Structures are given as structure tokens and as C-alpha cells.
Amino acid sequence: MSTPGTSQPASIPPMLEMRGVTKRFPGVLANDRVDFDVRPGEVHTLLGENGAGKSTLMKILFGLYQPDEGDLRLNGVPIRIESPTDAIGHQIGMIHQHFMLVPTLTVAENVALGLKSGRGPLTDLQAVSARIEEISSSYGLAVDPSVAIWKLSVGERQRVEIIKALYRDAQLLVLDEPTAVLTPQEVDDLFVILRQMSSAGRGLIFISHKLHEVMALSDRITVLRNGRVAGHTTPQETSRQELAQMMVGRAVKLAPDKPSVEPGADRLSISGLTVFNDSGSAAVTNLDLTVRSGEIVGIAGVSGNGQRELAESIIGMRHPSSGSIIVDGVEVAGSEPAESRGAGLAYVPEERMKDGAVGEFTVGENLVLVEHGSDRFSGRGLLRFGAIREHCRKLVDDYRVKTPSIETPTQSLSGGNIQKIILARELATKPTVLIAAQPTRGVDIGAAEYIHEQLVEQRSAGMATLLISEDLDEVFGLADRIAVMFEGSIMAILDTEAATREQVGLLMAGVESDPAPAAGVALDR
Amino acid sequence: MRRLVGGLVPLGAALVAFAFGALMLLAVGASPWDGLTALVSGAFGSGDRLIATAVKATPLLLVGAGITISFRASVVNIGGEGQIVMGALLATSLALGVPDLPAILLVPLVLMAGAVGGGLWGAVPGALKAYAGVNEILSTVMLNLVAVQFMNYLLRGPLIDPLELETGTRIPQTQRLSDNAALPALVPGTRLHLGVLVAVLAAFAVWVLLWRTPLGFRLRAVGHNPDAARAAGIPVRRSVVTALGLSGSLSGLAGAILVFGSEGQRMATDGSAAGFTGSAGFNGIVTALFGGLHPLWTIPSSYLFGGLLTGATNLQRQLQIPSALAIALNGLVVIFVVSSGRFQARIDRFVDGRRNLGTALADDGEPLAPAEAEVDSRG
């Protein structure tokens, strides 16, 4: 597990070698004697939590940083990469997590951007288009070069990014969390393309923290932790469990232990709910759903099938056009969040920096964003700072939020810690119903594990939870019942015990299931 | 460190502006040194002049402190002029209506009337923005015009000094108002009146409001992130109305102080808003921006701009230089300060980079960089 990469049968010389790379920032050792190499024709995964040093290492490779120690060799030749232009010149390409495309320009224009035209001052888009089509057909990257970027789906935009790199003849390609924005089907498509690229002799560096993807795609895996190499391994010699352990440095539970809880009374009853999205079409149609006390109901579905609108209409950020939402006996459809919360709702929103936290506020201020006006935290028109500080310190301790102090601006923390702050704040309101949308998306394993434990603990305490997640592992691990959402409707509600991934996957794609035993039983509840 | 730099950058910008002012003095044939000394001694050179500066700074400080409230809530208020006028009109009407109340009652009452008048006039565009989506920049500016015409109507008609009608001069001003409403002098025999103290206290009150009360917490949350604020149960629309209402009430208070702290003890105009307000409604915005949108920093800022105004009078008297030059200087200071925002941001980044993540200062008590002052008017 912790054998250096060189001990592998190195029949093929590596195209990239990074040896003893060290990079220091004030107060932080971002990379500590990191060894990493890539051979032609392989997918080498760089795995690690946020802040483990993956980005720093890749920024060094891309010429954005210079290493303090250590050296780089490309095809055996020592090199110094001064800038991204330099990196591109060495046939190193990068697919960023956030696409670097101009939405108003066409595919061909985006690809040609920054390249010299064959026709001097005039553009040469026809030649570019022809080349793009050549690349598309040889890799199965179906994209029309003349279409403007803004008209493309997220998956298609990513293909354009890949084409851009291939057009520049990148031999070594860095893919920074490429699956973060993709649907499961798009991930499958992407993996086919990536395999094809590696079999053509290119070297791929795959950065991800989704363990099953890492296991599925990688030839070799290097795990970073706190700036150091925690180990080199391969999918054949390891397991998801072991990888998680290497990343975090201690044993982790990928799925929490769920004590059996007998569900109680209905806490959230939705009936006939229809909600429109921002562009005015129905995102949720005539939806019925019930969540009971002591129960977690998971909504599985591909992003964009109405989950966001469902969550927003329950909390009151979006007002439904018809239907009823009853929380603990109180009708909240059409209410503002203030009233819905009064009825016992709490909300962990999908976009934590947009709807969940005020980035400029301190950790403490975000922890009392909901309850600052309560008698506990204010009196005679003034905030009670003593009580607030005490409360916040306790929450920070209880939820193991990694922050220098409660006075730290929230936006300077990692996503996982911000998510813990939001969850801590919401659960502190002692809700009867929690709407948790993508509670662990982009969150490191340790934090995700902790968030899952908290959800299970609250379930035992009788809270009703609606868990909306695109992560099937999460849904299967936490939910008692799984409601599969497709195009604004619930296809079926399955008991988790009886459901299979294949069954759920088909329902997510809108394929009606056969009257399988599990589905029939669960539908009326 | 950041606090220090936060103060130094606008000061540096002011110095550069003064250097340009020196060039302008040269251009009109005066010695820059004489001009500068005339300006500075005119503003701060003697007790009387300091008092004159304090009196000039008072409406700027009040408007500026109000501006910090609305801008912190991400609401732009360009309606200071109108809010001053409406506050003054309500306070004046009250003093005309019950002139015989004892001073101990009448003085607080006229000040409150000013705050109410300006507050309502500010709440109108607030409500229009919150419930009808009307851009508050447009509506506050337009309501300035409405307020001026209303003032002209009242001061030329119902509220005009009967003496003006008798003599036929028809200057748009009220009669001399009840002495019971006059703001008492803090130092007997000088013009240093209660309003100067009220303004400084108001700035402290705004600081308490923004950083020590649940209401201020909500306003700042809405200002930073209205979506997260709303999801957390904060009434965003009501907060917008409150922010503009409070902002307007401080301008209205300034209006009352302009009337009852004036030597004439009456409300008078030349037919324009500036004829009554001295453009404090606009200059107050500049004052707040120069103070980094922090109510306490707005205090020294207002005294600087107040000093420019009194210094300009002296400049004119001593060197026969048009006071317009001082006004131009005022404008230069603004331009340099606002453009120094970029510089400030760079320094902040440098400071942040040298510090371990997180030991950053808490938000309270720290002035915003002027660049951030260019608040976007999110709907």
C-alpha cells in the first residue's frame, strides 16, 4: 500500500515524473516531498481531501507555482514550467472543474481562442471546425462546432473542454474533479472517452474524491494527506474502505450504523404539489409524499428533475402554484421561510454559499443566522453576545468545525466545515422536519461521515428527514424509503431494504418498473 | 494592520487630491502655499472656525451615518436631499403649530418630527423597491425633485412669512420660528449648538444598531446575501424598507437641525434643494464613502468635508479665489478616494496573504474598502 510508485514494474518509462516536490506557504506545508509519476497510456488518480495538496501539486505542474524543492521531468528530461502557456507548450492540458469557456461564442471559436490562426490576422474557423469534427468522431465526442456554448448542456460543455485539450495535442491531461457536475449517465460516457484517450497512449491524471469512480477508472492511485503521499496503490490491491482510510488517516464508516426506529406520526405531508421553475414551466407536477417521525425519506434522481423546486417550495423560498404542504399539522404552502420554520421546518440548502450561509459573516454570525432574534440571543433590542458566543463555541466543538475562531469569516473555511456550520445551526433549532438537499456534496469524507451520523442520530430522536441527493450511495446508506423523482413526478417509492441500485437507476431514467414486489408494497405509504 | 491601512489609503488619496488642488491654485495665479494655509486655517485655525466647521459637518455626518445603514443593507439611497427637506418641513410645521410648548418639550419634538418626516420619505422608495421592484436609485433621486417642489409650494404659499407678503419681497422662507424650538448652544455665546452633539451621538447609535442589535444583524445579512437571509427566515422585504426608512430618518433629523440650528431660526430656500440643504444630501454620501461606510469613521470624514466648506469661504475672502475651486477640490477628493479602492483591495490581499487563514479581524469595527462601497443594487 505504501510502496513508492517506482516499485511498480516500470517497463514503460514515465512521461511525467515529479520527485520530492515541496511547496511551502506561510504557515502551511502544502506539498511535502511528494513523488508522483504518470506513464503513457494510464489513468493515475490523485486522491485526497480538500486541502490535502492536490491542487497545489497540479498548479506546480501547470506552472502557476514553482516548487520550493524537488524536480520535474517530462519524458526523462528535467524541465522547469514557468507558466500555463509553457505547460501547454509541453503538451500538458487541464480540464478545469469550472469550465473556461466563453458562453456567447461557438464551440469552434472557443477552441480557436488563444491559438494562432493559419490565416494571419483573419480567423480560420472552417479549418478549426474540420479538425474538431475529426477529433469528435475519433473519440466519440459528439459536438457541433458551430453551436454557441450557452446552448450546450453541462456534459457537452465538458466535451468541448476535452476537445480543446486534444486540439492542442495534449499528451498529458489533468482532469480536476470532472464528474462533479455530471449525471450518472454522463459520467459513464466520460469514462468511455477517457479510457479511449489513455489507450491511445496519453497519460491522464484524474482528480476526484468519489471513491467508486476512482476504483472504476484508475490504473494507479496516489493518495495525498496533509501535503504528504499517504500511499500509492491500485484498484486491484485496495478497496473503497481502505482508500477512505488512507485519505482521512483513520478508520471511517462509509455508511453509518442505523439503529432500527419505528416510524411515528406523519410530520410532512405533501399532496397535489405543483411548482414552476424560473423559466415558467412546471418543475414539480402533482406530487404526493409523506415523511414520518423517525424516518429518512431519500429523493433519488438526476439533477434537474424538480428536486430543487421541491425543496424550495417546502421551505418557502419558492411558492407552489397548487397543492398542500402540511408540517406537523400546519399548512405552509405559500408561506415565507420565516413562517415555515415556525411550523418546525429546517433547511440545509443545495447551494450552501448562495442560500445557506452569508460568506462575509463570521462563523458565529452564521451559526445564529436563524435564531439571532430569539429571547435566548437578544433582549431589550440588543444581541446577547455572551449567550451567542457560548452557544457558538459549543456548536463548533460538538460538530468539530475546523475554524481558528468563531470570529473567522465563514467564506475562508472549507466547504465541509461550512456545511457543518449550516447543519449545526439548523439542527440547533430542534426541527420536527429537516429538508436536507445534497448535504454532503463537495464535502470531505470526514465531514460527510459526521453529517451522516448526525442525520441518523436525529432520526432516532424522532425527526422526519427529507434527504435529497444525487449520490446513490448516500441515499441507500441513509434512507428508510427511496422516492425516485423523474421530470417532476415521483416514479415510485421503494423500501430501501428491498430496492436495488439497478431498479432505482432505471426509475431515475424514467423507465417504469415492472410491478416488482417491492414497488407495489411501498407505493401507498 | 488593516485598520491602519484602511485609514491611510483614503488619507493618501486626499493628499494627492490636494496636490492637484495646488496645481489649480497655480493656474488661477495664486500661491498654492497661501491657498492651502488659507483653506486649513479657515477650517481649523481658531475656535470660531472650528465651531463653524463642526456646524457645517453636522448635516454631512447625519446623512452619512444614514447612508451607512442603507448601503450596508445593499440599498442605495441618493434621496438625502429630499429626505432632509421633508424632515425640515415636518419639523417646521410642528414648530409653527405649537410654538408655545416649553423648550424642553419642543426641541426634542421638532428633532423627532424631522426624523419622522425624513424616515417616511425614505420608506416610500424602500416600499417601492421591496414590493414593486422599483429601482431605488431612480426613485430616491426622483423623490428629491418632488420634495423640492413641495417645499417651494409651502414656502411660497401656506408657510411663507407674512412679512414677505406685506413687503412684497416674497422670499420663500418661513417667519422666524419659536425660540423655544431653537437648539440650545453647547457653549453659551457660540454657534456650537445641540445638533452637533446629536449628530455625533447618532453616528454612535448607528454603530450600535448595525453591530449590536438583531435589527442591524438582519440588515447586514440582507446586504451581504439576501437569499441566505431569506432562507434563514429573515424578512428581506421589510428589511429593505427599514434600511431606507432609517437612512431617511437621519437625513430628516439633519433637516430639522438645519432649521433650528440656523442663525435665522427659520426655513429658507432660493427655490432649489441646495438653497436649503447646501447639498448635504449628496455630500453626505461622499462623506460616508470616505469614511469607508463605517458610522464611526464617518465622524472624522464629515469634519474633513465640513472643513473644506468653511475653508473655502476663507479662501475666497483672503485670496479672492472663487469658492468653486474648493468645491472642485471636494470632487477631486471623491474621485481619488473611490479609485483608491482598487489599491486598497490589493493591500488587503497582501495583508491577508501574510496572515494565517482565519486570524482575520471580525467584521465589526472594520471599515469596508471604498471599492466595496459601490454597492450593486440587487433586486
Q: In this structure, which amino acid lies at residue B47?
A: G
Residue A114: pLDDT over 50: yes
- Kindly report the three-state secondary structure assignment for every residue of chain B: CHHHHHHHHHHHHHHHHHHHHHHHHHHCCCCHHHHHHHHHHHHHCCHHHHHHHHHHHHHHHHHHHHHHHHHHCCCCCCCHHHHHHHHHHHHHHHHHHCCCCCHHHHHHHHHHHHHHHHHHHHHHHHHHHHHHCCCHHHHHHHHHHHHHHHHHHHHHCCCCCHHHHHHCCCCCECCCCCHHHCCCECCCCCCCEHHHHHHHHHHHHHHHHHHHCHHHHHHHHHHHCHHHHHHCCCCHHHHHHHHHHHHHHHHHHHHHHHHHCCCCCCCECCCCHHHHHCCHHHHHHHHHHHCCCCCCCHHHHHHHHHHHHHHHHHHHHHHCCCCHHHHHHHHHHHHHHHHHHHHHHHHHHHHHHCCCCCCCCCCCCCCCCHHHHCCCCCC
Do both A339 and A435 map to the same domain? yes
Distance CA B93, CA B177 (A): 10
The total of other beta-carbon atoms located within 10 Å of residue A160's CB is 24
Check whether B89 has a pLDDT greater than 90: yes
The pLDDT value recorded for residue B231 is: 96
**Nearest alpha-carbon partner for A422 in A406, A405, A436:** A436
A446, A352: one domain = yes
A288-314 average pLDDT score? 93
- Looking up cell 489513468 gives A43
The rounded mean pLDDT for chain B is 84
Q: Do A289 and A328 reside in the same domain of the chain? A: yes
- Shortest CA distance to A224 belongs to which of A453, A5, A449? A5
Question: What are A365-415's pLDDT values in tens digits?
Answer: 999 999 999 999 999 999 999 999 999 999 999 998 988 899 999 998 888
Cα–Cα distance for residue pair A367/A426, rounded to 1 Å = 9
Cα angle value A478/A482/A483 (rounded, 5°): 140
CB contact under 8 A, A337 and B213: no
Q: Which residues of B touch A373 (CB under 8 A)?
A: 214, 218
**Same domain for A11 and A85:** yes
In the structure, what pLDDT confidence band is assigned to residue A518 with cuts at 50, 70 and 90?
Answer: very low
| Cβ–Cβ gap B229/A378 under 8 Å | no
Q: For chain A, say whether B379 makes contact (Cβ under 8 Å).
A: no
| B170, burial (CB in 10 Å: exposed 0-12, middle 13-18, buried 19+) | exposed
Distance, in Å, from the CA atom of B116 to the CA atom of B83, rounded to the nearest integer, reads 10
How far, in Å, CA of A154 to CA of A99, rounded?
Answer: 9
- Give the number of other CB atoms < 10 A from CB of residue A121: 5
Can you tell me the distance from the alpha carbon of A360 to that of B159, in angstroms, rounded to the nearest whole number? 49
- In one letter, which amino acid is A221? I
Q: How far is CA A57 from CA A6, A34, A35, in A?
A: 19, 8, 10
Longest dimension (CA), chain A: 76
More confidently predicted of B40 and A357: A357
Q: Cα separation of B9 and B297, whole Å?
A: 13
Q: Which residues of B touch A437 (CB under 8 A)?
A: none
Cα–Cα dist A254/A241, whole Å: 7
A296 — pLDDT class (breaks 50, 70, 90): very high
Percentage of residues of chain A with pLDDT beyond 70: 94
Q: Which residue of B has its CA nearest to A386?
A: B212
Find chain A residues with C-beta within 8 A of B361's C-beta. Answer: 407
Cα three-residue angle A255-A261-A266, rounded to 5 degrees: 110
pLDDT higher than threshold 90 for residue B229: yes
Query: What are the boundaries of each domain within chain B?
Result: 59-300
The secondary element (H helix, E strand) that includes residue A482 is strand A481-486
Say if residue A175 is in the same domain as residue A114. no
A122 reaches B (C-beta below 8 A): no
Number of domains in chain A: 3
Q: Is B235 on the interface with A (CB under 8 A)?
A: yes
Identify whether A404 is part of a domain. Answer: no
Task: For residues A343 and A524, give the distance between their C-alpha atoms in angstroms, rounded to a whole number.
Answer: 26
Q: What is the mean pLDDT of residues A245-262?
A: 85
Q: How far apart are CA A378 and CA A371, in angstroms?
A: 9
CB contact under 8 A, A362 and B225: no
CA-based nearest residue in chain B for residue A315: B231
Report d(CA A138, CA B364) in Å as an integer.
59
What pLDDT sits at residue A4?
42
CA distance A487 to A3: 49
Which is more confidently placed, B297 or B32? B297
What is the average per-residue pLDDT within B25-32?
83
Question: Quick check: A369 and B229 CB within 8 A?
Answer: yes
Give residues with Cβ within 8 angstroms of A104, minimum separation 6: A148, A149, A150
Please tell me which of the candidates B213, B231, B234 has its beta carbon nearest to residue A315: B231
Judging contacts by C-beta atoms under 8 Å, the chain B residues touching residue A27 are: 356-357
Other C-beta atoms lying within 10 Å of the C-beta of residue A269: 17
Chain B: give the shortest CA distance to residue A387, in Å.
13
Of residues A50 and A341, more confidence is placed in A341
Burial profile A242-254: b = 16 or more Cβ within 10 angstroms, e = fewer: bbbbbbbeeebeb
pLDDT band of A362, cuts 50, 70, 90: very high
Nearest to B229 among A28, A349, A358 (CB): A358
Chain B hits for A357, Cβ within 8 Å = 225, 228
A475: domain CATH number is 3.40.50.300
Rounded Cα gap, residues A58 and A78, in angstroms:
17
More confident call, B73 vs B31: B73
Q: Identify from A65, A361, A402 which residue to disrupt to test chain B contact, counting B C-beta atoms within 10 A and taking the largest count.
A: A361
pLDDT in tens, B335-353: 777 677 655 655 555 544 4
Residue-wise pLDDT for B358-369, tens only, equals 222 222 233 333
What's residue A523's pLDDT? 41
Q: Average of pLDDT values for B167-182?
A: 88
| Residue bearing the bigger pLDDT, B226 or B332 | B226
What's the pLDDT at B119? 97
Percent residues over pLDDT 70 in chain B: 87
In this prediction, residue B97 carries a pLDDT of 93
Cα B324–Cα B303–Cα B368 angle in degrees, nearest 5: 105
Whether the pLDDT of residue A488 is over 70: the answer is: yes
CA angle B66, B70, B76 (to 5 degrees): 115
Say whether both A446 and A325 belong to one domain. yes
Q: Is B360:A412 a contact under the CB 8 Å cutoff?
A: yes
pLDDT category at B6 given cuts 50, 70, 90 is: low
Please give the sequence-ordered ranges of beta strands (E in DSSP) within A308-463, or none if there are none. 322-327, 330-331, 345-348, 378-379, 382-383, 433-437
Neighbours of A268 (CB within 10 A): 26
Query: Distance between CA atoms of B63 and B280, rounded to whole angstroms?
Result: 7
pLDDT of residue B347: 53
Co-location of A126 and A14 in the same domain? no
The SS3 of residue B132 is helix
Chain B residue with CA closest to A372: the answer is: B214
Residue in the block written with cell 433549532: A429
Residue B344, pLDDT score: 61
Contact criterion met (CB below 8 Å) for B229 and B45: no
Tell me whether residues B363 and A383 touch, CB distance under 8 A: no
Cβ separation B224–A383 shorter than 8 A: no
Q: Decide: A95 and A179 in contact? Cβ < 8 Å.
A: no
Residues in B closer than 8 angstroms to A359, CB to CB, are 224-225
**Burial class, B310, CB count within 10 angstroms (exposed 0-12 / middle 13-18 / buried 19+):** buried
pLDDT tens track for A309-339: 999 999 999 999 999 999 999 999 999 999 9
**pLDDT the model gives residue A402:** 86
Q: Which of A201, A222, A252 is the last residue of a domain?
A: A252
| Contact between residue B86 and residue B168 where contact means Cβ atoms under 8 Å apart | no
- Write out the three cell numbers for A419: 456545511
What is the per-residue pLDDT across B248-282, written as a single tens digit (0 to 9) for each?
999 999 999 999 998 888 999 888 888 899 889 99
β partners of residue A43: A204
B360:A408 CB<8 A:
yes
- Picking from A341, A382, A412, the nearest residue to B360 by CB comes out as A412
Cβ-based contacts under 8 A for chains A and B: 100
Domain finish residue from A228, A252, A276: A252
Does the distance separating the beta carbons of B233 and A355 come in below 8 Å?
Answer: no
> What are the cell numbers at B136?
431605488
pLDDT score recorded for residue B358 = 28
What is the nearest CA distance from A159 to chain B, expressed in angstroms?
32
Determine the 3-state secondary structure of A435 from DSSP: strand
Specify whether the CB–CB gap between B307 and B50 falls below 8 A: no
Alpha helices in A368-414 (DSSP H): 385-398
Residue A460's pLDDT band, with cuts at 50, 70 and 90, is very high
Q: How many CB atoms lie within 10 A of CB A187?
A: 17
**A394 to chain B, minimum CA–CA distance in Å?**
19
Instruction: List, for residues A150-191, the tens digit of each pLDDT value.
Output: 888 777 888 898 888 888 888 999 998 888 667 667 788 889
CB–CB of B91/B113 below 8 Å?
Answer: yes
DSSP reduced 3-state for A300: strand
* Residue B212 Cα to chain centre, angstroms: 22
How does pLDDT run across B188-227, given as a tens digit for each residue? 888 899 999 999 999 999 999 999 999 999 999 999 999 9
Mean pLDDT of A346-363: 93
How confident is the prediction for chain A on average, in pLDDT? 88
pLDDT of residue B148: 94
Q: Which of B:296-355 have CB within 8 Å of A?
A: 353-355
Alpha-carbon separation of residue B50 from A100, B56, B265, B308 (angstroms)? 58, 10, 21, 12
| A408·B212 Cβ contact <8 A | no
Q: Provide the pLDDT for residue A480.
A: 96
Q: Is residue A8 part of a domain?
A: yes
Contacts of B356 in chain A (CB under 8 A): 26-28, 404
Which has more confidence, B38 or B243?
B243
How far apart are the CA of A378 and the nearest CA of chain B, in angstroms? 7
Q: Are strands A345-348 and A203-208 parallel, antiparallel or unpaired?
A: unpaired
Q: Which domain holds residue A285?
A: 266-356+431-522
Q: What is the ipTM of this complex?
A: 0.82
| Nearest C-alpha in A relative to B368 | A360
Instruction: Decide if A500 is inside a domain.
Output: yes
Contacts of B208 in chain A (CB under 8 A): 382
State the cell numbers at B374: 459601490
Put simply, the answer to whether A358 touches B228 (Cβ < 8 Å) is yes
Q: Which of residues A6 and A96 earns the better pLDDT score?
A: A96
Contact B311, B332 (CB under 8 A): no
Cα four-point dihedral sign A379, A385, A387, A388? positive
Band (pLDDT 50/70/90 cuts) for residue B373 is very low
